[in-house]
Amino acid sequence: MMRVASYNMRKAIGTDRRRRPERTLEVLRELDADVIALQEADRRFGSRASAMPLSLIEEHSDYKPVPLGARSGSLGWHGNALLVKKHVEVIDKELVHLPSLEPRGAVLADLKVNGMELRVVGMHLDLSGLWRRRQAHAILAHLDARDGEPPTVLMGDLNEWSVRGGCLREFGHRHRIAECGRSFHARRPIAQLDRIMVSEALEIVESGAHQSATARKASDHLPIWAELRPL
């Protein structure tokens, strides 16, 4: 069994408009997932430093960032980052360029979780439906081009308001989509913008949106999670 999660942390700015990285970290601790895909993990301007100080993560949680090496002081790339429990082995990692009008990308890591190899992709897709579909094609093509076919988890903020259409149709041809429920807006969720999708080698045992009091304040998105096991 393993637990994965995805969280658009909104640069650690809560629904009270205050930037409180300690509060964001508390949500991550509540999730207690083996692997977490983050979106909007870095500040948007200037040096684009991590919205959560790296020292805060290392000293006050069981997590470590996958070292993407995209920019000094940043947690991720184009805001996308992957955190893993400290016992998880990082075998390989890669930045995935996505077609877009504004800078967009995805992050990929090959991991060993509880003795099992796992490929994880974290993403934050475009607001435009046309570009989302193109980005889905790019991610799937990139997966096809990589060596091996380990069990794979794709997760992130897809910005897809449709329940089954749009880019979900592209991903759904070869992946199961977890029923995590509505995650946006955190105070009163009305849309399933955040998604976890898995390859056929994985079973989705349980999934949902994390709705603690802290999570409802820490971002405008609720984090989502899924319990998985190999078939």
Residue 219's domain comprises 2-230
Look at residue 185 and tell me whether its pLDDT is greater than 80: yes
Q: How confident is the model at residue 74 (pLDDT cuts 50, 70, 90)?
A: confident
Residue 102: its pLDDT value, please?
A: 83
pTM comes to 0.96
Residue 88: its pLDDT value, please?
A: 98
Question: Which among 231, 228, 229, 230 is positioned nearest to 4, based on CA atoms?
Answer: 228
For the segment 120-139, what is each residue's pLDDT rounded down to a tens digit?
Answer: 999 999 999 999 999 999 99
Look at residue 171 and tell me whether its pLDDT is greater than 60: yes
User: What's the rounded mean pLDDT across residues 136-144?
Assistant: 97
Between β-strands 116-124 and 152-157, what pairing exists: parallel, antiparallel or unpaired? parallel
Which segment of 63-72, 127-136, 158-167 scores lowest on mean pLDDT? 63-72
Helices and strands in the chain: count of H runs, count of E runs: 5, 12
Q: How confident is the model at residue 72 (pLDDT cuts 50, 70, 90)?
A: confident
Residue 46: its pLDDT value, please?
A: 57
First to last CA, the chain: 11
Look at residue 173 and tell me whether its pLDDT is greater than 80: yes
Number of domains in the chain: 1
> 59 Cβ partners below 8 Å, 6+ apart?
none
- Report the CATH number that the domain containing residue 120 is assigned in CATH: 3.60.10.10
Look at residue 210 and tell me whether its pLDDT is greater than 60: yes
Count Cα atoms within 13 angstroms, Cβ side, for 64: 10
